[in-house]
A and B are shown apart, each in its own frame.
Chain A
Amino acid sequence: DTEVTQTPKHLVMGMTNKKSLKCEQHMGHRAMYWYKQKAKKPPELMFVYSYEKLSINESVPSRFSPECPNSSLLNLHLHALQPEDSALYLCASRPILRSSYNEQFFGPGTRLTVL
């Protein structure tokens, strides 16, 4: 199994809703990432988890709340989002090994629309 899966593929939510995005990998990767990507732009890093602990938070608003319940699963909880939060949310993972170049694998993304 060499893939990162993300659910749902598409999500439409109102500004008062609470929803969650899910990311899963079974490659034994201990680094997992959330990115936000606007159209025709590169991915912007949001959060990095290392060994299930949050190691990087790129000053993301608190309406985005990440969670890493185990080494295979990464969630992003959403609450009180704004229309400008509409974007493609990408999850990625890679191994943490000192001796290799460590390819980063991306999931297909969740297309989020906030009304």
Chain B
Amino acid sequence: AQTVTQSQPEMSVQEAETVTLSCTYDTSESDYYLFWYKQPPSRQMILVIRQEAYKQQNATENRFSVNFQKAAKSFSLKISDSQLGDAAMYFCAYRKPHSGNTPLVFGKGTRLSVIA
């Protein structure tokens, strides 16, 4: 079974600085998808960024980028120029591709605080 591990229960960052959240996963599949979801205190879970395992290029979405190391099964999230609105729980998630309704496998989450 696939597992996702987030080893940092809590992180903090100064406003405008950069922070990296760690995620590792375990799978025997060669093709899969990885996601970072953000859940602010308002509780709406939203997708931050995604990565297809067959793509070697790291995904980027504005201030958010990932460092995807397939051999190491590592998928970290880098947030640049941190803003107060980035404060939230961040969940790393895994899913097999082309698998109909197969659900996401979540890590335990990292709570990010942004200090003004």
Which of chain B's residues 8-32 have a Cβ closer than 8 Å to chain A?
A: none
What's the Cα separation between A96 and B44 when bound, in Å? Answer: 22
Residue of A nearest to B34 (CB): A101
The answer to whether A101 and B104 have CB atoms under 8 Å apart is no
The answer to whether B104 and A106 have CB atoms under 8 Å apart is no
User: Using Cβ atoms and an 8 Å threshold, which residues of chain B touch A42?
Assistant: 91, 106-109
The answer to whether B50 and A101 have CB atoms under 8 Å apart is yes
The answer to whether B44 and A40 have CB atoms under 8 Å apart is no
The answer to whether A108 and B43 have CB atoms under 8 Å apart is yes
Contact-size category for B: 20 to 34
- Indicate whether B115 reaches chain A with its CB closer than 8 angstroms: no
The answer to whether B50 and A43 have CB atoms under 8 Å apart is no
Q: Given known contacts A50-B100, A98-B98, A104-B104, is B33 in contact with A43 (CB within 8 Å)?
A: no
The answer to whether A103 and B43 have CB atoms under 8 Å apart is no
Q: Given known contacts A40-B89, A103-B50, is B111 in contact with A96 (CB within 8 Å)?
A: no
Residue of B nearest to A97 (CB): B98
Give how many A residues have a beta carbon under 8 Å from the other chain's beta carbons: 27
User: Using Cβ atoms and an 8 Å threshold, which residues of chain A touch B37?
Assistant: 106
The answer to whether B100 and A31 have CB atoms under 8 Å apart is yes
What's the Cα separation between A92 and B108 when bound, in Å? Answer: 18
Interface residues of chain B, those whose CB is within 8 Å of chain A, are 33, 37, 42-47, 50, 52, 89, 91, 97-98, 100-101, 103-104, 106-109, 111
Interface residues of chain A, those whose CB is within 8 Å of chain B, are 31, 33, 40-43, 45, 48-50, 55-56, 88, 90, 92, 94, 96, 98-99, 101, 103-104, 106-109, 111
